[in-house]
Amino acid sequence: MEIIPALDIIGGTCARLTEGDFNREKIYNISPVSQAKRFQDAGFEKIHLVDLDGAKEGKVKNWKTVQEVVEGTKLKIEFGGGIRSEEDIAKLLKIGVDKVILGSLILKEPELFKKIAKKLKDKIIAAVDVKEDIIYIKGWQEKSAERLFPFLERLDCLGIKTVICTDIKRDGKLSGPNTNLYKSILKKFPKIKLIASGGIKSVKDIKELSETGITGVIVGKAIYEKRIKLDKLIKQWMKL
């Protein structure tokens, strides 16, 4: 199981939200490039990079920052936030992003998504952001009519292999992950490469999630708030 540190961008700096609420943002005043290098120096090979400005506005906003992170590190980068077109995807892959994360586009432009999935399924990660079984989109600002399992069924039929599932109610709250949610998903979709996100507060949480059979876990606020020490995280994890 991979541990993937999160790096969220607002206004060109690192930030974290609570439950996806832009009125409850915390800016850490760290250069995204500097933070990415810290992750690399600690031994990580991949980061979860999100343009929160882009997610909110419906178009990628922090192009320059993304390119600086790509060029300034050797990290594999999975990037999301405001991606709404094939042109955006092509540009991101061209500048060196490893995989793109799509969420709102899946529901807003289903035919376009089918086309993208057919052509680039190995480069696509689906973002499934859920609150009480309902999918949310547009940076978690808009409630959709889609329910979790039917949505995952559609993704499975389209051949999407990797899904990041975030429990919005736990995200940024350091309250522990919704382990039962991931168990229920894997029970119905055992072949999915499932990445858990939301609520991670300790290495114990990570160990608990690893026992569910998920592929990866995204860790964000616990790192920035020093609940999990970056320089010890990989060493602790290797012992588990």
- Mention every residue, 6+ apart, whose C-beta is less than 8 A from residue 50: 6, 7, 8, 9, 79, 80, 81, 101
Catalytic residue (choose from 53, 88, 129, 171): 129
Q: Which helix (H) or strand (E) holds 212?
A: none
Query: Which two three-digit tokens encode residue 188?
Result: 């119905």
DSSP 160: -
Can you tell me the distance from the alpha carbon of 34 to that of 73, in angstroms, rounded to the nearest whole number? 9
118 vs 188: CA distance, rounded Å: 23
DSSP-assigned letter for residue 123 = G
* Distances, alpha carbon 196 to alpha carbons 6, 95, 143, 163, in Å: 12, 27, 20, 9
Q: Which of 8, 53, 88, 167 is catalytic?
A: 8
Helix (H), strand (E) at residue 77: strand 76-80
Whether 8 is a known active-site residue: answer: yes
CA distance 91 to 130: 28
Is 88 among the residues known to form the active site? Answer: no
Q: Which residues are catalytically annotated?
A: 8, 129
